């Protein structure tokens, strides 16, 4: 006889979340992250969760920076279940600030991992991944602005939900991506300037559920936040011509 079906998984999750004892929450602020050749600074990179330690990156070292990319190497950011359910959730936040002369055109977040589903034929298990984003432009051309918070969700291969038996497999890779088009958003608000500061916060969740004849496992293995800077400011043709005439005049005066 089947001990559990998929309809009971949602209830199982709800009971798990409602009754689980909350341990000591982990909050880690890794400070500001940047490199000499980058266009932006990732200010106050912070992780919050209810786990014993950080999961987005090692607590001691935190994320690294490569150019305009903030790189995370998750540690034990995983969920697994057999005859039950499990959930892990963590929130990452930072303020992205453009360096002098640079602007923020868009922000892309990519992550990847794998899942495993298996067990006896005819039984149930599932694994899922999700990420919700909250971002707000706080500066345009270096001046503070008051704009509303925008929301977005990451798109995952297979929809981010994997179930037995259709998705059975071992170490099956998955990927996720979201692009926050900051420049297009400002244009939609009738703002002609460029963003120079954006706050970013996103909540990442992994869930598993399985009956006692199945196993479910899912793990996050990497997260990258990449900022695409805006195009450099190029003088308009008229302005360029005036500058050229000015330089020519200066040359004649020197003679």
Does a structural domain hold residue 31? yes
Residue whose tokens read 């703002």: 191
Does a structural domain hold residue 123? yes
Does a structural domain hold residue 197? yes
Does a structural domain hold residue 161? yes
Tell me how many domains the chain contains.
Answer: 1
What integer pLDDT is reported at residue 231 of this predicted model? 73
Does a structural domain hold residue 51? yes
Tell me the C-alpha distance between 161 and 245, whole Å.
63
Domain, as residue range, for 107: 6-254
Contact in structure between 196 and 98 (CB atoms under 8 Å) = yes
Does a structural domain hold residue 11? yes
3-state DSSP of the chain: CCCCCHHHHHHHHHHHHHHCCCCCCEEEECCCECCCCCCEEEEEEEEEECCCCCCCCCCCCCCEEECCEEEECCCCCEEEECCEEEEEEEEEEEEEEECCCCCEEEEEEEEEEEEEEEECCCCCEEEEEEEEEEEEEEEECCEECCCCCEEEECEEHHHHEEECCCCCEEEEEEEEEEEECHHHHHHHCCCCCCEEEEEEEEEEEEEEEECCCEEEEEEEEEEEEEEEECCCCCCCHHHHHHHHHHHHHHHHHHC
Q: What is the pLDDT along the chain (255 residues), one digit of tens a residue?
A: 333 454 444 435 433 443 343 445 678 999 999 999 999 999 999 999 999 899 999 999 999 999 999 999 999 999 999 999 999 999 999 999 999 999 999 999 999 999 999 999 999 999 999 999 999 999 999 999 999 999 999 999 999 999 999 999 999 999 999 999 999 999 999 999 999 999 999 999 999 999 999 999 999 999 999 999 997 555 445 444 444 444 444 444 444
- Vertex 199 angle, CA 58 and 218, to 5°: 40
What integer pLDDT is reported at residue 31 of this predicted model? 96
Please provide residue 89's backbone torsions phi and psi, each rounded to the nearest 5 degrees: -140, 135
Does a structural domain hold residue 1? no
C-alpha to C-alpha distances, 130 to 155, 158, 160, 162, 204, nearest whole angstrom? 8, 12, 7, 12, 6
Tell me the C-alpha distance between 140 and 84, whole Å.
49
Does a structural domain hold residue 53? yes
Tell me the C-alpha distance between 126 and 168, whole Å.
9
What integer pLDDT is reported at residue 109 of this predicted model? 98
Tokens standing for 88?
């892990």
* Global pTM value: 0.82
What integer pLDDT is reported at residue 237 of this predicted model? 52
């Amino acid at each position: 006889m089947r001990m559990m079906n998929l309809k009971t998984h949602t209830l199982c999750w709800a009971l798990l979340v409602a009754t689980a004892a909350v341990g000591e929450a982990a909050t880690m602020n890794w400070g500001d992250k940047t490199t000499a050749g980058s266009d932006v600074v990732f200010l106050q990179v912070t992780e919050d969760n209810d786990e014993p330690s950080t999961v987005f990156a090692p607590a001691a070292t935190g994320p690294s920076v490569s150019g305009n990319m903030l790189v995370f190497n998750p540690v034990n950011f995983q969920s697994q279940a057999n005859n039950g359910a499990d959930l892990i959730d963590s929130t990452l936040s930072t303020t992205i600030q453009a360096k002098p002369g640079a602007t923020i055109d868009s922000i892309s977040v990519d992550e990847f991992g794998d899942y495993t589903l298996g067990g006896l034929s005819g039984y149930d298990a599932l694994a899922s991944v999700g990420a919700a984003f909250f971002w707000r432009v706080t500066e345009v051309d270096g001046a503070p602005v008051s704009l509303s918070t925008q929301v977005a969700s990451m798109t995952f291969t297979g929809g981010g939900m994997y179930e037995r038996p259709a998705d059975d497999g071992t170490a099956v890779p998955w990927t996720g991506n979201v692009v926050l088009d900051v420049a297009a958003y400002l244009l939609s608000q009738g703002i002609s300037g460029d963003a120079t500061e954006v706050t970013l916060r996103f909540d990442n969740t992994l869930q598993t559920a399985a009956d006692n004849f199945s196993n479910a496992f899912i793990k996050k293995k990497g997260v990258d936040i990449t900022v695409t800077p805006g195009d450099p400011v190029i003088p308009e043709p008229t302005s360029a011509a005036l500058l050229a005439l000015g330089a020519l005049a200066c040359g004649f005066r020197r003679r």
